[in-house]
Amino acid sequence: MNLLLISNSTNYGESYLAWAMNQIEYFCEKTFLTAKTNIVFIPFAGVNIGGKAYPYSYDAYESRVKAVFEKLGYINFHSLHAFEKKAEAIKNAGCIIVGGGNTFHLVAELHKYKLIHVIQEQVKNGIPYIGWSAGSNIACPTLCTTNDMPIVQPESFKALNLVPFQINPHYLDPHPEIDKMIKHGGETRQDRLNEYLAVNQNMKVVGLREATSLWIMGNKMQLKGGKKMVVFEYNKEAIEYEPGSDVSFLL
């Protein structure tokens, strides 16, 4: 499999996907994408993109992401929402891209259109997969470590199960400072992940900080970006891994 799982699309003060452009470009080159490669973008996490409410936000989302990939020279770019036969579109894709937004809505739509197994089969057959935020979260067995509000009820929490661990995108360290005088005193991200692990004791969770990603090629996985990632397991001390680390043991 060839997967690029990105924590976030935008860093503060930067343009859309700017921080990840080099990684995306290099990943596309290494997976032999060309200008003619049929790229299929899945926009279903985008419920309120560009100030436009669902379902019109899909058009805005397509335009935003398409502009990025066209800059890289990939001009055969299509959004899945425009296809009547969605499963067939996925089967004809040379690359699958899944954007961020609301993970519950994304998973609900994938189940609605019976796309889970179709995407699984394509990616396991070597079709490159790029996801960020919700798009990274759904590469996991379930959506259960998302940060998103459950605005809809999916048929199932089951996701693509392309990796055997859970990702928490946008991972924030405990007790982030709200301002210079006040610190957060409630539940932290780590507290919530510990709750997940208490009832899923055999699972590992990767806290993927902003501006980091996981690059999977075959049976190898490497942490990319400028920050450490943290791995949580039930009843164990969390362990951090440096950027550039080989973290293939998680596979």
DSSP the chain: -EEEEES-S--TTS-TTTTTHHHHHHHHHHTT--TT--EEEE-TT-SEETTEETTTHHHHHHHHHHHHHHHTT---EEEGGG-SSHHHHHHT-SEEEE--S-HHHHHHHHHHTT-HHHHHHHHHTT--EEEETHHHHTTSSBSTT--S---S--S-SB----SSSEEEET---SS-BSSSS-B--S--HHHHHHHHHHH-TT--EEEE-TTEEEEEETTEEEEEESS-EEEE-TTS--EEE-TT-B-GGG-
Tell me the pLDDT of the chain averaged across its residues: 94
All residues at 6 or more sequence positions from 231 whose CB lies less than 8 Å from its CB, including other chains? 204, 205, 206, 207, 238, 239, 240, 241, 247, 250
Q: Across residues 169-195, what is the average pLDDT? A: 75
Q: Give catalytic residue positions.
A: 133, 148, 170
Amino acid 56: pLDDT: 82
Per-residue pLDDT tens digits for 139-149: 999 999 999 99
Q: Across residues 109-124, what is the average pLDDT? A: 98
Per-residue pLDDT tens digits for 16-63: 999 999 999 999 999 999 999 999 999 999 998 878 888 789 999 999
- 3.30.565.10, 1.10.3720.10, 3.40.50.880, 3.30.70.980: which CATH number matches 2-250? 3.40.50.880
Tell me the whole-structure pTM to 2 decimals: 0.94
Per-residue pLDDT tens digits for 196-246: 999 999 999 999 999 999 999 999 999 999 999 999 999 999 999 999 999
* In the chain, where the domains are located: 2-250
